[in-house]
Amino acid sequence: MSQAAAFGWGAIIAVLGGLIGLGGAEFRLPVLASIFKYRTLQAIVINLVVSLVTVIFSFIFRTGLVNLDLITAHVDVILNILAGSLLGAYAGANFALRINERALKLVVVIFLLVLSFILIGHTFIEGLGSLSLPVWLRTITGFAAGIVIGIFSSMLGVAGGEMIIPTIMLVFAISIKIAGTLSLAISIPTIMIGLTKYYRQGKLHELRAERGFIGWMATGSIVGALIGSSLLPFVPNALLHVLLGVILFVSALKLLSHGKA
């Protein structure tokens, strides 16, 4: 039963994430904590592992839908944000290991709430267009945004796609579908840095008993990523972002209620 549940939740979450180029970690985190009853830090580390699998396969599936030449044409954007996110990911993992469980859970809830409002207002953000910044200021802004994204990625066990995508759209004037695929390319090494830090701290060894659960959820995530990526051309972006924003808002409230129980 737990295997079927792990596979099912992994698939469902990856479908939602794959539609807009995310690892789905923001949806998976409250599920791990509220439904499967993992402690917050355990849920974060498991989330990173499954997120890595989801992001890798989402990127593979999406590059078949988005012209790969358009991705390579924006490699400078990837490297710009990635440079900051790798630095932030290392710092974020250190912080997560020092903060207590209750405070960490509160940070997670606040983060989910903020992301819900970002997603609900995504149409407005997209309508703003780019900020028309000079090249040097774009570079600085992209690097600074990457640091913040990396910190949240490793600290909360998320890929940070909801922050990466609006950053790419606003700062670099890139369309949302290409931005979604670029965000996956940025997320892969960012997640790996966070996992490396947790590995050195022995947190991955503590999850040996959960290898079966992680394997089933990762397998479901691969299936879901394929389905979500395939549905991408048929789903209106505006409606999708509002739907995901509502889901995140509800997830944050459920996680907060779980902490009071």
pLDDT per residue as tens digits for the range 9-48: 999 988 877 777 777 777 788 889 888 988 888 888 899 8
What 8-state DSSP symbol labels residue 183?
H
User: What's the pLDDT score for residue 163?
Assistant: 76
Of 149-163, 170-184, 189-203, the least confident:
149-163
The full DSSP string for 15-27 is HHHHHHT---HHH
Of 25-39, 47-61, 62-76, 98-112, the least confident:
98-112
158: three-class secondary structure by DSSP = coil
User: Is a pLDDT exceeding 50 seen at residue 261?
Assistant: no
pLDDT digits (tens, 9 = 90+) for 219-240: 999 999 999 888 877 877 677 6
Percentage, residues of the chain above pLDDT 90:
15
Higher pLDDT, 1 or 143: 143
Provide the pLDDT confidence category of residue 97 given band limits of 50, 70 and 90: low
d(CA 31, CA 43): 9
User: What's the pLDDT score for residue 237?
Assistant: 67
d(CA 13, CA 62): 16
Q: State the pTM of this model.
A: 0.76
Higher pLDDT, 129 or 200: 200
Most confidently predicted of 140-149, 158-167, 233-242: 140-149
Provide the pLDDT confidence category of residue 78 given band limits of 50, 70 and 90: very high
| Sign of the CA dihedral running 25, 153, 102, 46 | positive
Which of 89, 99, 105 is closest to 192 using CA atoms?
89
Helix runs in 99-233, H state only = 101-120, 122-128, 135-156, 161-172, 176-200, 211-231
Would you say 164 and 89 are in contact if contact means Cβ atoms under 8 Å apart?
no
Provide the pLDDT confidence category of residue 156 given band limits of 50, 70 and 90: low
Higher pLDDT, 111 or 136: 136
Task: Give, in order, the Cα–Cα distances in Å from 127 to each of 56, 74, 115, 171.
Answer: 29, 21, 18, 13
Residues 6+ apart with CB under 8 A from 88: 146, 147, 148, 149, 150, 151, 152, 153, 154, 190
Of 34-43, 83-92, 170-179, 245-254, the least confident:
245-254
Provide the pLDDT confidence category of residue 93 given band limits of 50, 70 and 90: low
